[in-house]
């Protein structure tokens, strides 16, 4: 057994309830000024006022193996990034320039670029190449304080290559310090060989790909890109119901560019989360609240696509639990930094720093079924935290565009 005591920490952490945090509670962050975190074998054993914890330890027979003085710095839970496409084989900087010159994201996809160009690169890459490229991406996210990350497949779009991607994501889970949560996203686009025959591809997904993904046993969630020219609401419903029967929980890329009714579908299915929601209607937002669906907002994608941000304030006011994610991918948003996302949430979506903190930690843990393991500093959870170069979480927005981080800790070990 190893016991570590982190002293003189100014701790800001949300607290886990029975459901994702919503409404006024999203901005309620307890604060411990002169706090201690006691870590036993990588998990939080106790957290609270320094005096109390040190007194408890003094009365015990077990010795602390290591004491770390954090010097009064602000400490927050490690970031949980609940939406990334961080497994790919090549960048798409040329396409970014096309977008800057005015070509819309969905037009590029329609013309066989975009996601489909990433599919060509992933199909051509060996497992080793894909692993090395993706591992470097995850290292960057770790440097920015992400200690838990969801990674989607969706650049294979056939059974062999989707399983290859999930295999690589599983290897990332085993061989990086981060907690990695794999999501199957075979419904990311209709592959070129099924051009004009989307229903046939949906059949392949249901009859062959999903059962193979279940047998492989890596993916925990199934996600669908419900969008004009990609998968309709009806197709998305079929795929997600099929996935659920096989034990994969539903997530939806909903109303990212156009309001198709993806948010309403997420509410109807009581999906774990609905993502993007830039164009979500009032009715869609109410459906999320009614279904207890976590809204995963990706403000760096809105920024990169030059679109208006999602209506985070309306969502919070209507009782939708809001989470934050990077969307790290080669196309719509090549951003690995949760601090940047945090600052966009505060400056662009008018969330308070406390709301953004809950969104980037505890609610994002709920969005990927990790709320019992990570997302807050509470006894029993992994001792994952970020020591900020600042007095409070507001430093993340105050120092926009920089990295106001002194150190990153995963399971009680310093990892960045």
Give me the 168-207 binding string for ligand NIG, x by CB under 6 A, dash otherwise.
----------------------------------------
Q: Does 331 bind ligand NIG (CB under 6 A)?
A: yes
For residue 274, how many C-alpha atoms fall within 13 Å in the half-sphere facing its CB? 37
In whole angstroms, how close is the CB of 271 to ligand NIG at the nearest point?
16
Which of 249/253 has CB closer to ligand NIG?
253
What string of DSSP letters covers 227-296?
Answer: -TTSB-HHHHHHHHHHHHHTTPEEEEEESSSS-SSHHHHHHHHT-SEEEE-TT--HHHHHHHHHHT-EEE
Beta bridge partner(s), residue 47: 37
| Spatial CA neighbour of 207 closest among 243, 237, 173 | 243
Using the contact rule CB under 6 A, the part of the chain among 18-26, 60-68, 110-118, 159-167 near ligand NIG is: 110-118
Which H/E stretch holds residue 48? Answer: strand 43-49
Of these partners, ligand NIG, Fe ion, none, which one is at the site of residue 81 (CB under 5 to 8 Å by kind)? none
Considering only residues 70 through 89, tell me which ones interact with ligand NIG, judged by CB under 6 A.
Answer: 85
Considering only residues 295 through 314, tell me which ones interact with ligand NIG, judged by CB under 6 A.
Answer: 301
In whole angstroms, how close is the CB of 296 to ligand NIG at the nearest point?
10
Of these partners, Fe ion, ligand NIG, none, which one is at the site of residue 118 (CB under 5 to 8 Å by kind)? ligand NIG
In whole angstroms, how close is the CB of 240 to ligand NIG at the nearest point?
16
End-to-end, the C-alpha distance of the chain in Å comes to 24
| Spatial CA neighbour of 99 closest among 89, 117, 116, 114 | 114
In whole angstroms, how close is the CB of 372 to Fe ion at the nearest point?
25
Cα Rg, the chain, nearest whole Å = 21
Q: Scanning the structure block, which residue is given the tokens 């604060």?
A: 31
Using the contact rule CB under 6 A, the part of the chain among 5-13, 58-66, 238-246, 323-331 near ligand NIG is: 323-331
Q: Are 215 and 182 in contact (CB under 8 A)?
A: no
Between CA 13 and CA 388 the distance in angstroms is: 13
Q: Does 113 bind ligand NIG (CB under 6 A)?
A: no
Which of 26/329 has CB closer to ligand NIG?
329
Q: Does 253 bind ligand NIG (CB under 6 A)?
A: yes
Q: Does 235 bind ligand NIG (CB under 6 A)?
A: no
Q: Residues in the site for Fe ion, rule: CB under 5 A?
A: 327
Q: Residues in the site for ligand NIG, rule: CB under 6 A?
A: 85, 114-115, 118, 225, 253, 256, 301, 327, 329-332
């Amino acid at each position: 057994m190893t016991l570590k005591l982190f002293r003189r920490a100014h701790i800001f952490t949300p607290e886990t309830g029975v459901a994702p945090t919503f409404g006024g509670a999203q901005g309620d962050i307890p604060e411990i000024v002169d706090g201690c975190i006691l870590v036993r074998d990588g998990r939080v054993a106790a957290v609270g006022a320094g005096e109390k914890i040190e007194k408890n330890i003094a009365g015990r027979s077990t010795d602390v193996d290591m004491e770390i003085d954090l010097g009064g710095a602000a400490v927050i839970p490690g970031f949980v990034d609940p939406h990334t496409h961080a497994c790919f084989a090549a960048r798409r900087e040329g396409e970014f320039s096309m977008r800057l010159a005015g070509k819309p994201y969905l037009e590029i996809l329609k013309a066989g670029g975009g996601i489909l160009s990433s599919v060509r690169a992933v199909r051509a890459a060996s497992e080793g190449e894909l692993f090395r490229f993706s591992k470097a991406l995850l290292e960057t996210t770790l440097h920015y304080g992400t200690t838990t990350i969801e990674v989607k497949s969706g650049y294979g779009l056939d059974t062999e290559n989707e399983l290859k991607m999930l295999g690589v994501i599983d290897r990332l889970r085993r061989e990086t310090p981060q907690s990695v949560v794999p999501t199957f996203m075979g419904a990311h686009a209709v592959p070129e060989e099924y051009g004009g025959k989307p229903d046939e591809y949906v059949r392949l997904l249901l009859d062959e790909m999903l059962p193979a993904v279940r047998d492989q046993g890596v993916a925990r969630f199934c996600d669908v890109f419900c969008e004009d020219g990609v998968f309709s609401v009806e197709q998305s419903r079929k795929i997600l119901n099929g996935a659920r029967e096989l034990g994969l929980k539903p997530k939806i890329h909903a109303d990212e560019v156009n309001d198709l009714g993806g948010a309403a579908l997420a509410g109807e299915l009581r999906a774990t989360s609905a993502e993007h929601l830039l164009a979500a209607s009032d009715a869609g937002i109410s459906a999320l609240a009614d279904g207890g669906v976590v809204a995963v907002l990706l403000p760096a994608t809105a920024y990169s696509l030059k679109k208006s941000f999602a209506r985070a304030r309306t969502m919070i006011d209507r009782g939708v639990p809001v989470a934050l994610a990077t969307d790290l991918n080669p196309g719509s948003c090549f951003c690995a930094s949760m601090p940047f996302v945090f600052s966009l949430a505060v400056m662009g979506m008018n969330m308070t720093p406390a709301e953004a903190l809950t969104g980037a930690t505890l609610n994002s843990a709920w969005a990927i079924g990790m709320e019992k393991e990570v997302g807050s500093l509470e006894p029993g959870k992994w001792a994952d935290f970020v020591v900020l170069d600042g007095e409070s979480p507001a430093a993340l927005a105050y120092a926009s565009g920089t990295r106001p981080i002194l150190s990153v800790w995963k399971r009680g070990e310093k990892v960045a």
